[in-house]
Amino acid sequence: MAPTLLIARNPDPDSSLPYIMRVPIGGGLVLLVRDTWPRTAAVYCHPAPEWPAGAEIVEEIPVRSCTRRGPAIDLLLDRGKEKRSQIVFTRLKTGREVIFWQTPKTIRTAKPGARIPARRASRVTDLQIVRDTRERYGYRFAKQKATVTRRALPAGDYAVELDGRIVAAVERKSLDDLVKGLIDGKLIYLMADLALLPRAAVVVEERYSSIFKIDRVKPGFIAESLAAAQVREPRVPIVFCETRPLAEEWTFRFLGAALALETHPANARAAEAAGTYRSDDENE
């Protein structure tokens, strides 16, 4: 028989979670849930010891796919609507483990809630960042406590140096700037200049999905142009960071990691071989 998702009424009258759900993965994952589907918000779940005998079934839905992917279970139901969802196992700041049942819709409508950490970039005690003089309303890196100086840069809006040599740079783009650069072709030339540096990237203060909501130009053209630009200059990644504060944080971390690699030659060689970097000190 095809696997099914079972949802029944919780027989425990004292429970604040009125339903119980059995997910067809492993021997069967049984969860107490607040609702029968995450329609407007993520549904809180709690592990249940077992499926109750004689439970009153509310829904029995055939399952097309149920796959564990790291800390989440991707669930695809065999029905026309309300078919894609995800059960996420996460941990709160207090350390308590929690489970949420969510859909693409509830993820989009939820607030990001991301807390930007105040940790040094790759153990660099005082990161010195050069900001291009043409960069208006740029990042100050005040939360990250980096030192910012202004000077004309040959490429990028932010850079770090070692012995007077630029070792990494980041070009900042709003969505409007990105679209304009793709239309007039300037982004290609900009990325070519960035590719001459040891390490470089373009950071965008928006979600990738936002390019498909643009109404003044065909979204397909922007998506194709963006892909072509990335393929043409694969050494310069284009990173979408959702919000301006997250883009600022990403820029800080990227530049700090690049400088740390340059200042630790042994680690740099190991990183090239392993594809990762670890400082001489233990992780915090």
Note the pLDDT tens digit of each residue in 103-121.
877 766 655 545 555 555 5
Give the pair of three-digit tokens for residue 51: 């499926």
What is the Cα–Cα distance from 82 to 186, expressed in whole angstroms?
Answer: 43
pLDDT digit string, tens, across residues 170-226: 999 999 999 999 998 889 889 999 999 999 999 999 999 999 988 878 888 999 999
Tokens 């949802």, located at residue = 7
The per-residue pLDDT for 94 is 79
CA nearest neighbour of 280 among 264, 259, 256: 264
**What are the residue ranges spanned by the domains of the chain?**
4-109, 121-274
User: What does the pLDDT look like over 234-273, one tens digit per residue?
Assistant: 999 999 998 999 999 999 999 999 998 887 654 444 444 4
SS3 58: strand
Considering only CA atoms, give the Rg of the chain.
24
Return the higher-pLDDT residue of 94 and 174: 174
Q: Quick one: tokens of 99? A: 């489970």
d(CA 124, CA 114): 23
Q: How far apart are CA 41 and CA 104, in angstroms?
A: 10
Q: Reduced to 3 DSSP states, what percent helix, strand and coil does the chain have, rounded to the nearest 5? A: 25, 30, 45
CA 202 to chain centre: 16
CATH topology of domain 121-274: Rossmann fold (3.40.50)
- Of residues 179 and 95, more confidently modeled: 179
Model pTM score: 0.55
CA distance 131 to 150: 5
Cβ within 8 Å of residue 253, ≥6 positions away: 121, 122
